[in-house]
A and B are shown apart, each in its own frame.
Chain A
Amino acid sequence: MTVNGDKVTREIEPRVLLVHFIRENLGLTGTHWGCDTSNCGTCVVLMDGQPVKSCTVLAAMADGHDIRTVEGLAVGGTLDPVQQGFMEEHGLQCGFCTPGMMLTARALLDRNPHPDDAEIRQAISGQICRCTGYATIVRSVQWAAAHPLGTDAATDDGGAGATIEEGVTA
């Protein structure tokens, strides 16, 4: 399969779940592993651009597909506008749900660049946050929608583009 643009090949047992393949075989621990029952959504990754719960997909089923994890959100050292939005609007506290929330938000904005609050809430309704609550997450996604090019395009703060060095990694 392709993960964040890189072709990866491993010999695995058929029963290995995609979430464990990503975390343990590839060492990409940004994808979190939570309830294991496809309820909490912290394991969400993008499969061919669509959010899926990776605890309920076999790694073997993802063979030949394009997987994007939170590590693949930033491009060339610049955080994705969604990541910047979560920083600007305090969309995270403990950070456990954050990778899945951001990937679902990215997929939403790719399909619908100007969602209303209800559409954002609908998109993340299969994912659970237990600290900040959803209001700041919705604001974070709205920030990203309002700044499709990130802070470089912002007119109100004049700040330089956020980079991974000065930002957060999940």
Chain B
Amino acid sequence: MQIPAPFDYERASDVANALVLLERHGPESRIIAGGHSLLPMMKLRLARPEWLIDINDLAELDFIRREGDQLRIGALTRHTTLLESADVAELFPIIRDAEQVIADPVVRNRGTIGGSLCQADPAEDLSTVCDVLRAQAVIRGPDGERIVAMSDFHRGPYETAVAQNELLYEIRFTIHPRSGSAYEKVERRVGDWAVVAAGAAVGLSQDGTIEEAAIGLTAVGLDGTVPEAEATLRGRQPHEDLFIEAARIAAAVCHPVDDQRGPVDYKRHLADELTRRVLRRACARAAGAQEG
């Protein structure tokens, strides 16, 4: 029977209270939201906090708000809520694509965007999505609020910019005109981590050339996006040959490892093929084309 080692538990009443509790209980205290990453790790003794601070009551952290040129998503927003949001589907279809393949529908009822990002598993889908969308993380701590670019948020596997006495408050996404995005994942079965997944976002200029591009790959040892492939895309017209060229670069620079999910050459092949597909779909979406 898998049961976590003993710990103490306290519910936070609001964000300020959660920060007070983190201070009070010190370095061995951790925030718990959906718990679908942390509790399994605690069962395996890969994590052994002495205090869990439950933030599930903090309705103030559960929101999706469109304000000006930003979409703001609270850290406690559940995967199911993201999947069902009309704003998310319209503005950032990559989030919806990813949410359809994150864990399974029952797990998505509990898991949160903040929990996924703070867990920072190298095979985690939303980390790639947020990298690709050049999102910003709003972090609250005892000294107030600070904003961290997603490129600085992830410090390595299971490590983020969120300090022990801080709390991820929200994620901000900038809305660009004539933009499109997409995500696609190959997994062995529903609920498994990705063998490989790819995400892309593009912004087109008035004449249809690619003005801005981002490509990310999941579970192949990449730190952030793939600038070499992105540079290839900028200033050029979306075209199948261009997608092939960018995908080849992305597949070449990633670092897949041989494991139970597949050998290196298979994963590199997936990185190549999935990058082509998400570029194709992101550009089609940006051009307002119908989904293929």
- The residues of A with any CB-CB pair to B shorter than 8 Å are 13-17, 20, 36-39, 41, 44, 50-53, 56-58, 60-61, 104, 122-123, 125-127
Contacting residues, chain A, for B52 (C-beta < 8 A): 14, 58
- Count residues of chain B with CB under 8 A from any CB of chain A: 28
Interface residue B105 (Cβ < 8 Å from any Cβ of A) = yes
Query: Which residue of chain A is the closest to B51 with respect to CB atoms?
Result: A14
From residue 52 to 66 of chain B, which have CB atoms closer than 8 A to chain A? 52, 54, 56
Q: CA of A37 to CA of B36 in the docked complex: distance in angstroms?
A: 9
A44 CA / B108 CA spacing, docked (Å): 13
B3 at the interface (CB under 8 A from A): yes
A and B contact pairs by CB, cutoff 8 A, 16 listed: A14-B6, A14-B8, A14-B9, A15-B3, A15-B5, A16-B3, A36-B2, A37-B40, A51-B105, A52-B109, A58-B9, A58-B39, A58-B54, A104-B106, A126-B107, A127-B104
**Restricting to B63-120, which residues have a CB under 8 Å from any CB of A?**
80, 103-107, 109-110
Task: Other than A126-B103, A126-B105, A126-B190, give 9 A-B pairs with Cβ distance below 8 A.
Answer: A13-B6, A41-B106, A51-B106, A56-B39, A56-B40, A56-B107, A58-B32, A60-B9, A125-B190
Most chain B beta carbons < 10 A, residue from A44, A61, A125, A126? A61
Q: Which residues of chain A are near B105, meaning CB under 8 Å?
A: 51, 122-123, 125-126
Q: From B5, B6, B56, B104, give the contact of A126 (CB < 8 A).
A: B104
Say yes or no: A56 contacts B7, CB within 8 Å. Answer: no
Whether A17 lies near B40 (C-beta < 8 A) is no
User: Which B residues touch A15, using CB under 8 A?
Assistant: 3-7
Contacts of A39 in B (CB 8 A): 191
A108 to B: closest C-beta gap in Å = 9
- A42 vs chain B, min Cβ distance (A): 11
Cβ of B1 within 8 Å of any chain A Cβ, yes or no, is: yes
B56 contact set on A, CB distance < 8 A:
61
Bound complex: CA A118 to CA B164 (Å): 43
Between A and B, how many residue pairs show CB distances below 8 Å?
Answer: 77
Contact check, B35 vs A56: say whether CB atoms are below 8 A apart. Answer: yes
B104, closest chain A residue (CB): A126
Given the complex, which residues of A lie within 8 Å of B110, measured CB to CB? 52-53, 56-57
In the complex, chain B residues whose CB is within 8 Å of the CB of A13: 6
Assembled-state Cα–Cα distance A98/B107 (Å): 18
Is residue B43 within 8 Å, beta carbon to beta carbon, of the partner chain? yes
Contacts of A123 in B (CB 8 A): 105
With CB as the reference atom, state the residue of chain B lying closest to A51. Answer: B106
Q: Which of B1, B54, B80, B105: most chain A CB closer than 10 A? A: B105
Interface of chain B residues 178 through 204 with chain A (CB within 8 A):
190-191
> Whole-angstrom distance between the alpha carbons of A16 and B9 in the complex?
11
Q: Which residues of A contact B109 (CB under 8 A)?
A: 50-52
Which B-chain residue is minimally distant from A39 (CB atoms)?
B191
Inter-chain contacts of B190 with A (CB < 8 A): 125-126
Cβ contact within 8 Å between A52 and B106: yes
CB–CB A125/B104 < 8 A: yes
Instruction: Determine whether the beta carbon of B106 is less than 8 Å from that of A53.
Output: yes
Q: Which residues of A contact B1 (CB under 8 A)?
A: 36
When each residue 30-55 of chain B gets 1 if its CB lies under 8 Å from chain A and 0 otherwise, what string results? 00100110011001000000001010
In the assembled complex, the Cα of A10 lies from the Cα of B109 at a distance in Å of 26
Chain B residues within an 8 Å CB radius of A56: 35-36, 39-40, 107, 110
